[in-house]
Amino acid sequence: MRAIQVVNVRFFNATAWYGLYLTRLMREAGHQALVIGLPDTESFEVAREWGIEPVPMDMNTTHPGRLLALYREMADLVRDFRPHVVNCHRGESFLLWGLLKRATRSFALVRTRGDQRLPRNNLPNRWLHRDVADAVVATNSSMARHFIQAMGLPSEKVWTILGGVDTGRFRFDPEGRARVRAEFGFAPEDVVVGIVGRFDPVKGQEDLIRAAGEARRLGGCSFKLFFVGFDSITGSGEIKEWCRREGVDDIARLSGARKDVAACLSALDMGVCASRYSETIARAPMEIMACGRPLIATRVGVLPDLVPPSALAAPSDPEDLGRLLHKALTRPDWLKAVQVDEQRIMAQYSGKDFLNQTLSLYQGLTSGLHA
């Protein structure tokens, strides 16, 4: 199988990770896979770090003269590489790939929708997804329902592929757990509640801090907070100030950027995903659960596909999250049942599962194409 992943994403976000990880999985399985990326961007450099030498193309250009040159570059690449599938992870340049597909009739075209915004239900979007794309991949069931129910795509054309997690890397690490807990001053008997991800309002760190205050006010629980992440839109100083304001600064620790993420996740006794929106691709929540940690979360994006309904709180509602956190901390039997359910769900989402689902789609689309 020969495939091109068009990862025209500036930052190394979940969309970029999805395309790059899929490329790596295909290569490791013996397939030929290329990535097209935006030069001089974070995602382009990460691809290089992973040993994927991306093909540089300015897929996001809107300049009329540059579009013609870009189309020629794309046509040359298709002629030389002869892909069975081109998978676009962003909408920019998708129309150009559709024109090239119709001109060459040599590859199948897939549109993967991992962005947080649902596509508008208008004529151009319906045409692009129903007539230009050979298949649409939705990274969560909410997005899939939108394509089928609101936009009228045939259900057989919409595939829900949530992604997967590298279970070789992300697994419970008892030695790493002990080392990280000692580093940050967590005693063996401490219950450590952690949130993972860049410090950004969308990730809901402030909501978790307020929820922690609510849980302490409800009483009957003792725990520590561990912020596994790094400064982004929000800085460490703001996180610490929120903790002081809520009266939980005595139990909070911030990790900063880390290479030993699996060890940090193993150091937790429970994870929280407090995102206010987004999470259309749930990389960090999957990694937490792959490390055997129970997770409570907000009801956004793909999280209802991964977390039992009873372990979900309303987004941007610290009081609701606080009540859920208190329940998890004071009812270990309930939290254990949540963990069992989540491990059963996660058994379907290894990297191998991600690859097999994607290859099943690709092979079905390309059975009549060139060998």
180 & 160 share domain: no
Q: Is residue 184 part of a domain?
A: yes
217 & 307 share domain: yes
How far is Cα 271 from Cα 214, in angstroms, rounded to an integer?
A: 17
272 & 187 share domain: yes
The model's confidence at residue 65, banded by pLDDT at 50, 70 and 90, is confident
Q: Is residue 169 part of a domain?
A: no
Q: Is the dihedral of CA 361, 365, 366, 368 positive or negative?
A: positive
Concatenating the DSSP letter of every residue in 213-265 gives: HHHHHH-S---EEEEE--BSSS-HHHHHHHHHHHT-GGGEEE--S-S-HHHHH
The model's confidence at residue 368, banded by pLDDT at 50, 70 and 90, is low
215 & 342 share domain: yes
Query: What is the domain range of residue 21?
Result: 2-164+350-366
132 & 153 share domain: yes
φ/ψ of 298, rounded to 5, equals -95, 160
357 & 320 share domain: no
- Among 208-217, 273-282, 291-300, 301-310, the minimum mean pLDDT is found in 273-282
**Which one-letter amino acid corresponds to residue 252?**
A
Q: Is residue 58 part of a domain?
A: yes
The yes-or-no verdict on residue 346 having pLDDT over 80 is yes
Average pLDDT, the chain: 96
200 & 284 share domain: yes
Structure tokens at 165: 């997690």
Number of domains making up the chain: 2
How far is Cα 117 from Cα 140, in angstroms, rounded to an integer?
A: 12
6 & 66 share domain: yes
Average pLDDT over residues 58-63: 93
| Rounded to 5°, angle at Cα 293 from 249 and 289 | 120
Q: What is the CATH number of the domain that holds 141?
A: 3.40.50.2000
Residue 116: predicted pLDDT: 78
Residue 369: predicted pLDDT: 62
Residue 237: predicted pLDDT: 97
187 & 314 share domain: yes
Residue 136: predicted pLDDT: 98
97 & 228 share domain: no
- Among 1-5, 180-184, 365-369, the minimum mean pLDDT is found in 365-369
Average pLDDT over residues 106-134: 92
The yes-or-no verdict on residue 371 having pLDDT over 50 is no
103 & 139 share domain: yes
The model's confidence at residue 207, banded by pLDDT at 50, 70 and 90, is very high
Concatenating the DSSP letter of every residue in 121-189 gives: -SHHHHHIIIII-SEEEESSHHHHHIIIIIS---GGGEEE----B-TTTSS--HHHHHHHHHHTT--TT
The yes-or-no verdict on residue 43 having pLDDT over 60 is yes
